[in-house]
Amino acid sequence: MTTLTITIPKKSARAQELVAIPRKEYEALLRAGKKDQTIVVKRSPSFRVAKKHEAFYDALDQELTETLRDVDAGNYYGPFETADELFKHLDRKR
């Protein structure tokens, strides 16, 4: 087990304005506060496509929406400093 020493300034301790929680819990609280925002990707009406390609672009918009929601929920990995780190991560997933 690792020992952690934290010095708390007396001014903060007296004012009772300091809270210590793990970073993951803090980020989860931040994400929970953003839940009221809905993420929807929709191409601009000025971006015109042929009828035969509309289904492709609609599917792309849906996939981008789902991906952005995953990122907002914290369901992603990376960034990786090197390609080796990426490959090690992918090998662990198998």
The confidence band for 10, taking pLDDT boundaries of 50, 70 and 90, is: confident
Residues 21 and 51: beta-carbon distance below 8 Å: no
Question: What's the pLDDT at 30?
Answer: 81
**What whole-number distance in Å separates Cα of residue 11 and Cα of residue 16?**
9
The DSSP annotation for 6-36 comes to ----HHHHHHT------HHHHHHHHHHHTTT
pTM of the model: 0.49
Query: Tens digit of pLDDT for each residue in 31-78?
Result: 777 665 678 889 888 999 999 999 999 999 999 999 888 888 888 888
Question: What's the pLDDT at 22?
Answer: 85
On the CB side of 24, CA atoms within 13 Å amount to 2
Say yes or no to pLDDT of 16 above 80: no
